[in-house]
């Protein structure tokens, strides 16, 4: 059955599986049923069952992956829309984002190193808090495994979305701005969608956290990594 590994067939399959996963998530409302995660599991199973090589799938995959870079560039539009908010509270935002970013990189690297992870894995974890396309780019730049980063980032997002509000309640973070910001900073798009569930105001600050931490992480990760090496 050579047709099962046809490039366009596997493209169509990827679209269909992702669309179905989206429907599944919105019907059930369960945030851990992340469409990326579910689609990847189904496609991996498909490849294994039909004994199709990953290189074969990547023939189709590269057409999809190609759009990652322009999609990151497109984030410039929401960034532009938030510029006036950013300017109004520039210092508190920058200081808390800078702290969150640096502490995030250092803590994940030191804990992973302490628990005996290999250097390749440690480098893949450094950018785990930020949105996947940025995180993968950072991982590529510092020499980790981009697809490991992709998986970790999704899991971090799901965990942050589920546990975020409880953690903040326990640590007495009460202001809506701080809560939204923290969720976006620690758990990127999934934290942002969780914040969006509460209110638009939370959501706006969460997407601000996502954007600023994305930029800081891209700018600072190589430097922070070389400092704690």
Q: Looking only at residues 150 through 189 of this chain, which bind another protein when binding is defined by CB under 8 A?
A: 150-152, 154-156, 159-160, 163-164, 167-168, 171, 173-175, 177-179, 181-183, 185-187, 189
d(CA 191, CA 94): 19
Nearer to another protein, 27 or 71 (CB): 71
Name which position in 4, 20, 75, 198 contacts another protein (CB under 8 A): 75
Q: Does 123 bind another protein (CB under 8 A)?
A: no
Find, among 86, 73, 104, 120, the residue nearest to 191 by Cα: 104
In angstroms, what is the minimal distance from the CB of 102 to another protein?
A: 9
Q: Looking only at residues 3 through 32 of this chain, which bind another protein when binding is defined by CB under 8 A?
A: 14-15, 18
d(CA 144, CA 219): 16
Q: Does 222 bind another protein (CB under 8 A)?
A: yes
d(CA 14, CA 57): 10
In angstroms, what is the minimal distance from the CB of 1 to another protein?
A: 20
Find, among 70, 73, 68, 92, the residue nearest to 205 by Cα: 92
Cβ–Cβ under 8 Å, residues 70 and 44: no
Q: Looking only at residues 81 through 120 of this chain, which bind another protein when binding is defined by CB under 8 A?
A: 83, 89, 91-93, 95-97, 99-100, 103-104, 107-109, 111-112, 115-118, 120
d(CA 72, CA 56): 26
d(CA 26, CA 49): 28
The residue range among 1-9, 36-44, 194-202 that interacts with another protein, by the rule CB under 8 A, is 36-44
Nearer to another protein, 18 or 196 (CB): 18
Nearer to another protein, 1 or 91 (CB): 91
Q: Does 210 bind another protein (CB under 8 A)?
A: no
Cβ–Cβ under 8 Å, residues 170 and 189: no
Q: Does 196 bind another protein (CB under 8 A)?
A: no
Q: Does 137 bind another protein (CB under 8 A)?
A: yes
d(CA 122, CA 127): 10
């Amino acid at each position: 059955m050579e047709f099962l590994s046809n490039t366009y067939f596997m493209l169509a399959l990827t679209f269909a599986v992702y669309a179905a996963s989206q429907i599944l998530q919105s019907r059930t409302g369960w945030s851990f049923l992340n469409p990326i995660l579910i689609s990847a599991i189904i496609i991996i199973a498909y490849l294994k069952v039909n004994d199709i090589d990953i290189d074969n799938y990547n023939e189709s995959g590269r057409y999809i992956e190609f759009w990652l870079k322009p999609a990151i560039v497109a984030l410039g539009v929401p960034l532009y829309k938030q510029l006036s908010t950013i300017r109004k509270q520039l210092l508190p935002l920058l200081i808390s984002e800078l702290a969150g970013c640096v502490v995030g990189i250092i803590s994940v690297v030191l804990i992973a190193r302490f628990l005996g992870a290999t250097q390749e894995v440690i480098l893949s974890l450094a950018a785990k808090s930020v949105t996947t396309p940025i995180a993968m780019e950072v991982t590529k730049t510092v020499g980790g495994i981009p697809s490991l980063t992709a998986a970790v980032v999704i899991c971090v997002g799901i965990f942050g979305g589920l546990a975020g509000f409880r953690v903040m309640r326990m640590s007495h973070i009460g202001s809506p701005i701080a809560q939204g910001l923290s969720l976006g900073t620690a758990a990127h798009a999934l934290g942002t969608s969780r914040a969006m569930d509460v209110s638009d105001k939370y959501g706006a600050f969460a997407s601000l956290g996502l954007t600023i931490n994305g930029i800081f992480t891209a700018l600072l990760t190589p430097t922070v990594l070389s400092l704690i090496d």
